[in-house]
């Protein structure tokens, strides 16, 4: 098992967000997490790279309990885990090339030429050539999103966590990002967790889909199983039908 969350609980003050969330992701697998806004999807993902610590439960990554790591051992494990933030999270005062190079500079033994090479390759992979010297504010939202993606893949991580990588992208760019996620998985064997609201994209890229609902994994199944799910909460989300939710409650 390469990523495993066991009975994870997390509250912010009075707000109980994760309430016994359990999920196992096998090596090389791509698992998508779906669920309504505010259900805790980003919170969940931040536990996987140790940005957040659970109140209770365990988070395993690459054979380590990342929730118990601190300092250098935490950074060492985190380096294997690429994170594509929901809102790009680029540094406005740095150029796109500098943003993408940022994580690479922390890898010992990489020369400036190696770094430049990896930045170029990563930007090309997301179809963002020629913007190296521009600043994030000069790019469109979709381009910034792809720059965030380039920064994560430049590190060539064994694990990739994507927080809504396709939200707000035009259909062509969206299918390009889907292709990229598939390629990272098929060619490089990357293990991925993808948060998405886009069911077509989830069906296309996922080995399994999990729904986060009221702090727990509501269902976990293959795209076909999710498509055919009889669970009204799943169907309400998948089919975009609020009326089914009322039926369920």
Ligand X SMILES: Nc1ncnc2c1ncn2[C@@H]1O[C@H](COP(=O)(O)OP(=O)(O)OP(=O)(O)O)[C@@H](O)[C@H]1O
Chain residues in the site for Mg ion (CB under 5 A): 41-42, 86
Binding segment for ligand X (CB under 6 A), chosen from 9-17, 60-68, 69-77, 154-162, is 9-17
Instruction: Give yes or no for residue 187 binding ligand X (CB under 6 A).
Output: no
Check: CB of residue 66 under 8 Å from CB of residue 49. Answer: yes
Spatial separation of the C-alpha atoms in residues 4 and 141, rounded to whole Å: 32
Q: Is residue 196 a contact residue for ligand X (CB under 6 A)?
A: no
Alpha-carbon distance of 39 to 207, in angstroms, equals 22
Q: Which does 91 bind (CB under 5 to 8 A by kind): Mg ion, ligand X, none?
A: none
- What number of CA atoms fall less than 13 Å from residue 38's CA on the CB side? 2
Sign of the C-alpha dihedral, residues 28, 168, 217, 205? negative
Q: Give whichever of 41 and 145 is closer to Mg ion, judged by the CB atom.
A: 41
Q: Which is nearer to Mg ion, 42 or 229 (CB)?
A: 42
Among Mg ion, ligand X, none, partner that 37 touches (CB below 5 to 8 angstroms by kind)? ligand X
With contacts defined by CB under 6 A, how many residues of the chain interact with ligand X?
Answer: 12
Length of the chain (residues): 249
Binding mask 71-110 for ligand X (x = CB under 6 A): ---------------x------------------------
Beta-bridge partner residues of 34: 211
Contact between 15 and ligand X by CB under 6 A: the answer reads yes
Q: How far is CA 248 from CA 18, 181, 221, in A?
A: 21, 34, 20
Residues that bind ligand X (CB under 6 A): 12, 15, 17, 35, 37-43, 86
């Amino acid at each position: 098992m390469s990523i495993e969350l066991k009975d994870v609980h997390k509250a912010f003050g009075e707000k109980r967000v994760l309430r016994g969330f359990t999920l196992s992701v096998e090596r090389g697998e791509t698992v998508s997490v779906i669920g309504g806004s505010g259900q805790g999807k980003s919170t969940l993902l931040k536990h996987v790279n140790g940005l957040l610590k659970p109140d209770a439960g365990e988070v395993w990554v690459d054979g380590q309990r990342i929730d118990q790591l601190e300092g250098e051992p935490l950074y060492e494990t985190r380096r294997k885990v690429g994170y594509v933030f929901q809102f790009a999270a680029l540094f406005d005062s740095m150029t796109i090339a500098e943003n993408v190079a940022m994580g690479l500079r922390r890898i010992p033994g990489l020369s400036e030429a190696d770094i430049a090479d990896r930045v170029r390759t990563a930007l090309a992979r997301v179809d963002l050539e020629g913007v190296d010297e521009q600043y994030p504010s000069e790019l469109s939202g979709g381009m910034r999103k792809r720059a965030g993606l380039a920064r994560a893949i430049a590190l060539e991580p064994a694990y990739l966590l994507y927080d809504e990588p396709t939200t707000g992208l035009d259909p062509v760019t969206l299918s390009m990002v889907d292709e990229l996620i598939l390629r990272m998985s098929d060619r490089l064997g990357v293990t991925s967790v993808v948060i998405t609201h886009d069911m077509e994209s989830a069906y296309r890229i996922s080995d399994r889909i999990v729904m986060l609902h009221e702090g727990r994994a509501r269902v976990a199944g293959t795209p076909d199983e999710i498509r055919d799910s009889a669970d009204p909460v799943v169907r309400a989300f998948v089919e975009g039908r609020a009326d089914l939710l009322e039926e369920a409650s």
